[in-house]
Structure 1
Amino acid sequence: MSIHVEARNVVKRFGPTVALNGAKIAIAEGETHALLGRNGAGKSTLVSILTGLQRPDEGEVLFSGEPAPAPGDRDAWRQRVACVYQKSTIIPALTVAENLFLNRQSDGHGPINWRTLRGRARELLDTYEVDVDVQTLAGDLSVEQRQLVEIARALSFGARFIILDEPTARLDGPAIERLFARMRSLREQGVTMMYISHHLDEVYEICQSVTVFRDARHIMTRPVAGLPQDELVHAMTGEATSAYHARERTPGERVVLSGEGLSLAGRYRNVDVSVRAGEVVGLAGSASSGKVGLAETLVGLRGADTGTVVVNGTKVKPGDVPAAMAAGLGFVPEDRHHEGFVPLLSVGENATFPIARKLGRFGVVSPSRRREKAKEMITALDIKTEGPDQPVGDLSGGNAQKVVFARALVDDPTVLVVINPTAGVDVKAKQALLGAVEDAAERGAGAVVVSDELDDLRICDRVLVMFHGEIVKDVPRGWTDHELVAVMEGIQE
């Protein structure tokens, strides 16, 4: 079987970060080939190179043995490869027909013939067995229908290689089966596919071969048939050892945070969770597992469709962040740059936002009291700064994240919820931030740690693993990388 797509010895750097280091993949014509790896393994960078959005610093990409087009030749790239991303690129305000032939509505001679355009769209959808009315607004389509329209659009350019990036992330069981049926049909028509997923059960069901990346390098390429699941998980995780040694502690009996019967359409369903005083509970799972949405519900950023959240004995109104904070909750959001701090304001102002009302009288903040409190937090978290008056935007990533932690901890919360707390920080900052969570637990606070990093989860007394919007396992402390990743990828241990 001939090789349809190949990347050889690809190196890609972004500043000091090596995103791909001699990576390679070879995908045979007409096969569905899985690309697997933990977050940060280099999958997204390879996709950007295989679609012509990035140029490799070293190495080459070949299509049917021929060198890839020049980076600026978008038409040539579209004729060779298309990517259906987890986030749809369909334009909601346009019809299906308009989306299918965007910028190709006419033959270049005269105005658009709408009847002809709709006819071309119906013919295209019929060819690939997509049952959608071409006059429907794309915004009215289901997630499943939008994906099928995107696949048809990609094939209409003549591309015979399609990358599917987490295509089942927002689909339910029956829709996944229909997608797989369509993929099998496309494969019978000679279409080559690269399939990216965090769900290993899907890889075994739909793929013929699998390539694993780890730490920006190619680790393994094997046929799926006969490949033991534990060997595949081992290739993804390696022999990682902890850079952080969790402390021993004994949680109390009092429940300080609970969610009962929580459901949010498209995110999670029928979730019960409770956290005791002095307990650190992890939330783990793939990007589509629902873990971030659940955490944002617990802190009031999202309102659940059903269920209740209780913070420190107070039932909190859905979507009411101030009420959750008043009840004793501290929060470190997922994206510090957009949700965690105000860059132009000072370290002191950012760190003391939650207690501004306590730093003065009659609604006026005392600058001296604010600086005094900020200095306490700077010392406690070892924030490297010129002082409380320095703008947060001038700090390094690790120190800016410490300011976000300071804001979460400044009012001595009884509940702490942190999402991806060590993303983009160095090892020393990571240890300080995880230490701050454990310090809070030792003072009697309950904590929830939501993270894609296994090392972050090692401080947890137990880890709740989410899969397709449900908690599928409560894993006690002492797990191995292999054990936890297997559950996260849909393989129950």
Structure 2
Amino acid sequence: MTTSLVEARGVVKRYGPTTALADGRLTVLPGESHALVGRNGAGKSTLVRILTGLQAPDEGTVRFDGEPAPPLTDRDAWRRKVACVYQHPTVVPELTVAENLFINRQPLRRGFISWRRLRSEAAALLATWDVRVDPEARTADLKVEDRQMVEIARALSFGARFIVLDEPTAQLDNREIERLFTRMRALQDAGVTFLFISHHLQEVYEVCQTVTVLRDARWITTAPVADLPRQALVEAMAGETIAEQAERRRTVEPAGPVLLDVRGLRSTAYENVDLTVRRGEVVGLAGSSASGKIELAETFAGLHTPTGGTARLEGAPLPFGDVRGALEAGVGFVPRDRHEQGLVFGMSIGDNATLSVLERLGRFGFVGTDRKRGVATALIERLDIHAEGPEQPVSDLSGGNAQKVVMARALASGPRLLVLVNPTAGVDVKSKESLLARVDSAREDGTAVLVVSDELDDLRRCDRVLVLFHGRVVAEHPAGWRDHELIASIEGVDHG
């Protein structure tokens, strides 16, 4: 039998009360491209951090070529074993290719960098691995695919023959993806082994020989790609078969008038998007991290300016690139990250909850304290925020209650369109149910709601879910969809 190049067994990793990986397993053979797939939160990133020596497992073992993994402190030993190329390149853009290849280990002559040797050794390294890039080119001027190949060449120069590719196609078009796959196959023939992580399952079938599935922080299966039909792969990721799935059809109320009407909207993140959201309708947007769904939603909230197309709210054009203008136009917004975008942690609950309606709380630029307190108190009760009162610092709150404050501010202005991005991220089960109940309340009030989420439970509240793939709307699922159907659309699997 061939000795495994990489083997992980019984890997467990906890972060406080959260178990990020309960049973991580992986066996990668030399010279193969091995896919690691799973929904968001399945444990892929945690396993990669352990396989690349960034973190130690709490339990379990990792071995390379049959030998135990090096100590975390021996970074040189890890570089000789494995490297990870992320979807966002880690090269220094202002340096040349040669400088990036040998950063912190430039050849010296009499104590000074030998630039001639640096260029010569860089050219030799690139030629060895058939990476056709000018060693004197500024790295920032390279295409994304070429920057990725520079990172792979740098890793190979340390002696590593195991390369983790984390969402390598997220920023590539179809032609660039095919070129990347051609280079991967050539490197495999030269003895390089890949762990390939992608949300696009059709890529697994194009470039990988073996696939491992993680679900709910546990290993589910490892199988040859040729022996695992796409439907079986999606079911392994979803945890349900078609026969096991119950029908979840919800009666949809008669359609109201269109409130949000989007036609031909396009930008660098999405293209030719048409969609409508009616009064009292909840529409979901699903897709992978690189699908463009978040950028699209943020456009309606005034955070981005598209390059073309129109979006009208009750017949009036939305003011692109103008957050205040979007708020005044009737858009309420819950951003994707409450810490970075949603809350001002130096302020109180009341201050945060009423930021969107300050002009209604006083005259001539002055805010009425009593009036603000009354509005904030009402919002605290409406959202069931567990707090001592409006004056309590928002930094004192749990994650769930802090997210409720963000939701309270979005609802305070009485929006006609409510845009929610990952509205239940990082909250407990009880808070999650409370936040989703607000979605139902908004529907009953006649608000148009757009929900962007990676969580299937968030999307179940929707009257229909649109799926974006590489910036395009590729599918629409009515209420009652089955998990495997939605996941198949998100992953780009063609069931036709």
Above 0.5 in TM-score? yes
Alignment deviations for residues 210-236 of structure 1 (CA, whole Å, 9 cap, x no partner): 000111111000010121111111111
2:64 matched residue in structure 1: 63
Pick aligned residue for 1:456 from 445, 455, 458: 458
Alignment-derived partner of residue 149 in structure 1: 150
* d(CA) in 1 for partners of 2:334, 2:206: 38
How many Å apart are 1:461 and its aligned residue?
A: 0.5
Separation in 1 of the partners of 2:175 and 2:123? 25
2:320 equivalent in structure 1? 318
Amino acid at match of 1:382: D
Partner of 1:401: 403
Matched, 1:116 2:114: no
2:352 corresponds in structure 1 to 350
Does residue 473 of structure 1 match 2:475?
A: yes
Residue type of the alignment partner of 1:305:
T
Corresponding residue of 1:210: 211
1:251, 1:278 within 8 Å by CA — same for their partners in 2? no
Q: Which residue of 2 aligns with 1:261?
A: 264
- Note closer, same or farther for the CA distance 1:108–1:459 as it changes in structure 2 (3 Å cut): farther
CA shift, 1:262, in A, is 1.3
Deviates more, 1:337-346 or 1:108-117: 108-117
Query: Cα deviation per residue 1:247-297 (whole Å; 9 max; x = unaligned)?
Result: 7552543221122211112x1111112111111000001111111111111
Q: Describe the SS at the equivalent of 1:91.
A: coil
CA deviations on 1:11-46 (whole Å, 9 max, x unpaired) are: 110000011112111101111100011111100000
| Cα distance, 1:248–1:385 mapped onto 2, change above 3 Å | farther
SS at match of 1:90: coil
- Which position in structure 1 is the counterpart of 2:5? 4
Q: How does 1:65-464 map to 2 (within 5 A)?
A: 65-107=66-108, 110-239=111-240, 248-250=251-253, 252-265=255-268, 267-464=269-466
Give the C-alpha shift of residue 67 in structure 1.
0.5
CA 1:46–1:107: 2 relative to 1, 3 Å: farther
Aligned 8 A contact 2:283 2:463 in 1 = yes
Query: More deviation in 49-58 or 300-309?
Result: 300-309
CA contact (8 A) 1:297 1:319 kept: yes
- Inter-partner Cα distance in structure 1 for 2:252 and 2:371: 34
Q: Secondary structure at the match of 1:148?
A: helix
Alpha-carbon contact 1:332-1:408 (below 8 Å) kept: yes
Residue 316 of structure 1, CA deviation = 2.2
Q: Identify the residue that residue 28 of structure 1 maps to in structure 2.
A: 29
Structure-2 separation of matches of 1:436 and 1:296:
20
**CA drift at 1:465:** 0.4
Distance 1:150 1:189 in 2: 17
Is this contact kept in 1: 2:200–2:491, CA < 8 A?
Answer: yes
SS of alignment partner, residue 38 of structure 1: coil
Instruction: Specify the SS of the correspondent of 1:61.
Output: strand
Shift of the alpha carbon at 1:239? 3.4
CA–CA separation in structure 2 for the residues paired with 1:395 and 1:248: 37
TM-score (norm 2): 0.96
| 2:5 aligned counterpart, secondary structure | strand
Q: Structure 2: where are the runs of 5+ without partners?
A: none
Find the aligned partners of 1:253 and 1:20 in 2 and give their Cα distance.
45
1:99 & 1:170 partners in 2: Cα distance? 21
Question: 2-side partners of 1:167 and 1:365: how far apart?
Answer: 50
1:291/1:108 CA distance change after superposition, 3 Å: farther
Q: Which moved more, 1:297-306 or 1:329-338?
A: 297-306
| Structure 1 position 109, deviation (Å) | 5.3
SS of equivalent residue, structure 1 residue 269: coil
Distance in 2 (alpha carbons) for counterparts of 1:303 and 1:271:
14
Distance across 1 between alignment mates of 2:374 and 2:251: 33
> In the alignment, is the contact (CA less than 8 A) between 2:41 and 2:217 conserved in 1?
yes
Could you give the per-residue CA deviations for residues 295-351 of structure 1, whole angstroms, max 9, x where no partner exists?
111211011111122223221232111111111110000011010010120111100
* TM score, norm. by length of structure 1: 0.97
Identity across the alignment (%): 59
Aligned residues: 490
* Displaced runs of 4 or more, over 3 A: 239-242, 245-249
Task: Answer yes or no: is the 8 Å Cα contact 2:3–2:66 preserved in 1.
Answer: no
Q: Which amino acid aligns with 2:199?
A: H
- The corresponding residue for 1:17 is 18
Q: What displacement does 1:492 show? A: 3.1
CA contact (8 A) 1:12 1:21 kept: yes
How far apart, CA to CA, are the structure 2 residues paired with 1:44 and 1:68? 18
Q: Distance in 1 between matches of 2:34 and 2:261?
A: 42
| Structure-2 change in CA distance of 1:206 and 1:480 (3 Å) | same
Distance change in 2, residues 1:311/1:261 (3 Å): same
Structure 1, unmatched stretches of 5+, are none
* Residue aligning to 2:54: 53
User: What is the SS of the residue equivalent to 1:268?
Assistant: coil
Tell me the secondary structure at the aligned position of residue 438 of structure 1.
Answer: helix
Q: Distance in 2 between matches of 1:107 and 1:38?
A: 47
RMSD: 1.5
> 1:205/1:161 Cα in 2 relative to 1: closer, same or farther (>3 Å)?
same
In the TM superposition, residue 143 of structure 1 has moved relative to its aligned partner by 1.0
The CA deviation at 1:107 is 4.5
2:45 aligns with 44
Contact between 2:350 and 2:391, CA under 8 Å: does it hold in 1?
A: yes
